[in-house]
Amino acid sequence: MSDKQKRILCVVGTRPEAIKMAPVILALRAAPWAQVRVLATAQHRQMLDQVLEVFGIVPDVDMNIMRPNQTLPELTARLLGELDGVLADEQPDVLLVQGDTTTVMTAAMAAFYRRIAVGHVEAGLRTGDIQNPFPEEMNRLVAGRLSRWHFAPTAGSRDNLLREGFDPASVHVTGNTVIDALMNVVDRDLAPPVGVAEQERLVLVTAHRRENFGAPFRDVCRAIRAVADGHDDVRILYPVHPNPNVSAVAHEVLANHPRITLCAPLDYLPFVAAMKRAYLILTDSGGVQEEAPALGKPVLVMRRETERPEAVAEGVVKLVGPDYDAIVTEAGRLLSDPVAYATMAKGVSPYGDGNAAQRIVSILQHDLLG
The binding site for ligand UD1 (CB under 6 A) comprises 14-16, 43-47, 66-70, 72, 75, 101-102, 135-136, 208, 242-244
Examine residue 352 and tell whether it contacts ligand UDP (CB under 6 A): no
Which of 29, 145, 210, 225 does the annotation list as catalytic?
A: 210
Q: Which of 37, 44, 120, 122 is catalytic?
A: 122
19 near ligand UDP, rule: CB under 6 A: yes
Residue 266 interacts with ligand UDP (CB under 6 A): yes or no: yes
Residue 7: is it exposed, middle or buried by C-beta count within 10 angstroms (0-12/13-18/19+)? Answer: middle
Distances (CA, A) of 336 to 84, 267, 280, 326, 333: 55, 31, 12, 15, 5
The binder of 206, among ligand UD1, ligand UDP, none, by C-beta within 5 to 8 A per type, is ligand UDP
- Quick check: is 241 catalytic? yes
**One of 17, 37, 120, 136 is an active-site residue; which one?**
136
Is 132 or 243 the residue whose CB approaches ligand UD1 more closely? 243
Number of residues that bind ligand UDP (CB under 6 A): 16
Cβ at position 260, least distance to ligand UD1 in Å: 21
- Determine if 206 is a binding residue for ligand UDP (CB under 6 A): yes
Examine residue 291 and tell whether it contacts ligand UDP (CB under 6 A): yes
Q: Provide, rounded to whole angstroms, the least separation between the CB of residue 334 and ligand UD1.
A: 25
Rounded least distance, CB 33 to ligand UDP, Å: 29
State the chain's maximal CA–CA distance in angstroms.
66
**166 is a contact residue toward ligand UDP (CB under 6 A):** no
Quick check: 306 binds ligand UDP (CB under 6 A)?
A: no
The closest alpha carbon to 360, from 30, 5, 92, belongs to 30
Residue from 17, 100, 219, 330 carrying the catalytic annotation: 100
Residue of this chain nearest to ligand UDP (CB atom): 285
Question: Out of 15, 150, 297, 303, which residue is the one contacting ligand UDP (CB under 6 A)?
Answer: 15
Asked if 285 interacts with ligand UDP (CB under 6 A), we say yes
243 binds, among ligand UD1, ligand UDP, none (CB under 5 to 8 A by kind): ligand UD1
211 binds ligand UDP (CB under 6 A): no
Q: Which stretch binds ligand UDP (CB under 6 A): 65-73, 215-223, 230-238, 284-292?
A: 284-292
Q: Does 208 qualify as catalytic in the annotation?
A: yes
Which of 208, 259, 308, 359 is flagged as catalytic?
208
For the chain, give the secondary structure using H, E and C: CCCCCEEEEEEECCHHHHHHHHHHHHHHHCCCCEEEEEEECCCCCHHHHHHHHHCCCCCCEECCCCCCCCCHHHHHHHHHHHHHHHHHHHCCCEEEEECCCHHHHHHHHHHHHCCCEEEEECCCCCCCECCECCCHHHHHHHHHHCCCEEEECCHHHHHHHHHCCCCHHHEEECCCHHHHHHHHHCCCCCCCCCCCCCCCEEEEEECCCHHHCCHHHHHHHHHHHHHHHHCCCEEEEEECCCCHHHHHHHHHHHCCCCCEEEECCCCHHHHHHHHHHCCEEEECCHHHHHHHHHCCCCEEECCCCCCCHHHHHCCCEEECCCCHHHHHHHHHHHHHCHHHHHHHCCCCCCCCCCCHHHHHHHHHHHHHHC
- Is 122 considered catalytic here? yes
Torsion of CA 353, 191, 205, 335, to 10 degrees: 90
115 is annotated as an active-site residue: no
For the CB of residue 288, give the shortest distance to ligand UDP in the complex, in Å. 5
Shortest distance, position 187 Cβ to ligand UDP, whole Å: 16
Binding site for ligand UDP (CB under 6 A): 15-16, 19, 178, 206, 208, 239, 265-266, 268, 271, 285-288, 291
Residues with catalytic function: 100, 122, 136, 208, 210, 241
